[in-house]
Structure 1
Amino acid sequence: MKLIKINEVPEKGVSHNAKLRKRELISCGELGPVTTYSRAVFPPGEKAGAHAHADVAEVFTILSGAGEIRINDVAYVLAAGTTVVVEPGEVHEIINTGTADLVISYFGVLVPFENDSLNRWNVSK
């Protein structure tokens, strides 16, 4: 069992943009195929630049603020209560288009490649 109080977790930078801050609640390797579980804060006008993960799906839930997510060059509106699943290989970026912080809770899940003979997490192929 692990009990985590988000306000006791130290803030750190996000690799996609040093102005973004996150509190990582679960780190890669702590819980099977979960690569991270974090809460990130995007100040107005900031973004996590376009990138893709070959073997990770990401799930983003908007807690507050407004923005957009671009997936494979298609823009989708983000508002509180919205959840978006980004599949492995999809190029995505998140942009705060509002005037207040965009606060997002997100996690990543390792998805083995089709030919992954180890299939370490017994994920269905």
Structure 2
Amino acid sequence: MRITQVDSLPVQYVSHDSNVEKRVFLKYGEVPHLSQFATATLKPGEQATLHHHDDMTETFHFLSGKAEVEVDGKVHLATAGTTVTVFPKEAHEIRNNGTEDVIMVYFGIVD
């Protein structure tokens, strides 16, 4: 068993965007097929830039703020309570064009 408090986790940065802060609850290899389980914060004006994963499904659950989520060229609005799942090879980007932080929890499952 493991119990984790988010405030006790060190701040890290998303590999494809060094300004996006994250805190990792579970990292790759700790649970079968899980690439990571983490929380991320996008400050106003920040984005997780367009990218895709060849062999990973990624799920984002939004806790606060308003984000634009672009998946394969289509833009969707995500607010608190929204969950977005992106499948392998789907290009995705998350943008905070608002005035408050966007906070989300997310995880990736590797095929």
What is the TM-score normalised by the length of structure 1? 0.87
- What does 1:113-124 correspond to in 2, within 5 Å? none
Which is richer in strand?
2
Give percent identity, aligned residues only. 37
Q: Which residue identity is paired with 2:49?
A: G
- What does 1:35-46 correspond to in 2, within 5 Å? 35-46=35-46
Q: Distance in 2 between matches of 1:21 and 1:30?
A: 21
Q: Distance in 1 between matches of 2:15 and 2:110?
A: 18
Q: Which runs of 4+ in 1 moved over 4 A?
A: none
1:108 corresponds in structure 2 to: 108
The offset of 1:14, in angstroms, is: 1.1
Aligned-residue CA RMSD (Å):
0.6
Which is higher, the Rg of structure 1 or of structure 2? 1
> How many positions carry a matched residue from both structures?
111
1:14 corresponds in structure 2 to: 14
Structure 1 alignment gaps of length 5 or more: 112-125
What is the TM-score normalised by the length of structure 2? 0.98
